[in-house]
Amino acid sequence: MSAAVLSTAVADGDAGPAAGSSDQLDLLHARILVVDDNEANSELIRQILLDAGYRHVTTTRDAEDVPRRCTQEPPLDLLVLDLHMPGMSGFEVLAALRALLVPPTFLPVLALTADVTSSTRRRALSMGAHDFVTKPVDPAEVLLRVRNLLQAHLLQRDLEARVAERTHELEVARLETLQRLGLAAEYRDDYTNRHTARVGRTAGSIAAALGLDAGVVELIRLAAPLHDMGKVGIPDAVLLSSEPLSEERTAIMRSHVRIGAELLAGSSSPVLDLAAEIARFHHERWDGDGYLEGLSGEAIPLSARITTVADVFDALTHRRPYREAWSVQRSLAEMRRLRARVFDPAVLDAFLAVCPDAPRAR
């Protein structure tokens, strides 16, 4: 097709990306793949798009290679697909893509066909096509439909980005609120008001030393600071007592693990879900002599076993209402003595390996 004919086809300004529009640059940089077993047809469409200003248009006659190309990086923004091809048909390509492109991944498909029957269109639409161009193609129609699909794709992409950003902001705000509550609980019996942050950092270091997945390490780092959330429900007379607690007061003090678990339970947030687990089980002991449920060994969730080590070390090395801080050396010696009694041996060993001198608070 001559440049003159193409120029006439788009002269009204309605076929290509709208001149001066804010999304024009994004549309022109869209990555488009044209699939047709007839090289002349695919080259014609490619030339139509290039002459309209689109800069990343490729073609292929190999339909079997399309699923792989549609899952590569950088991702495609539009697939122009012939429905009737020898070997792997366009319908089979659509079926393969439907299995590969799991939502929210979205790839608009412009179907090419000489078959204008409603049954063909319904079949293609049901399998994932979004619009049609009838052969022989009309350049202006091609450009209009390409632009419309790309604009819809751009809008959806922007909407997904905004939703993801907003979701992240809400998650951060929710977590920060609960961390503040955790700090408020700790403030009552921690003069530095940094116990929660120190426990989180140490727990994350232990989790990493154990070889846990990076995502799990981060979850533990964020959840561990909330381990003593239940202290908000403990009376000052019990929490701040400098005297040995009576049996009744000991039971009240121990109830903070149940209170914390109840406060944190039922959230859709993975961080808060893990925090509820940690709050409930971080006073269990490896030998089964902990509370509230008396679990032992690996029956205690790993997240709680990790937090127990981090929590005890920090509690020993910092002043509490009922005693002065211990030295690092004395604290480590005591924790080694309690290996396989209070602490999971593997977790304690991981802590000692990454913190041989113990991390000091900052």
47: Cα separation from own chain's centroid: 40
Closest among 85, 42, 93, 91 to 67, alpha carbons compared? 93
113: Cα separation from own chain's centroid: 40
Q: Which domain holds residue 230?
A: 176-354
Question: For residues 204, 206, 207 and 208, what is the CA-based torsion angle, rounded to 10 degrees?
Answer: 90
CATH number at residue 193: 1.10.3210.10
276 and 264 Cβ atoms separated by less than 8 Å: yes
CA distances from 27 to 52, 53, 154, 175 (A): 11, 9, 8, 38
Give residue 167's region: left, alpha or beta (phi > 0; psi -120 to 50): alpha
- Whether 204 is covered by a domain: the verdict is yes
Phi, psi of 346 (to 5 degrees): -65, -40
**Total tally of structural domains belonging to the chain:** 2
DSSP 8-state secondary structure symbol assigned to residue 327? P
**pLDDT average per 10 residues of sequence, the chain (362 residues):** 39 49 70 94 95 94 92 90 93 92 84 90 92 93 94 85 86 78 68 77 96 96 92 86 88 94 89 94 97 96 98 89 85 95 97 71 39
Same domain, yes or no, for 149 and 190?
A: no
Question: For residues 185, 186, 190 and 193, what is the CA-based torsion angle, rounded to 10 degrees?
Answer: -110
**Percentages helix, strand, coil for the chain, rounded to the nearest 5?**
55, 10, 35
pLDDT of residue 362: 39
CATH number at residue 82: 3.40.50.2300
Closest among 48, 32, 128 to 80, alpha carbons compared? 32
Q: Which residue has the tokens 């076929």?
A: 15
Same domain, yes or no, for 79 and 211?
A: no
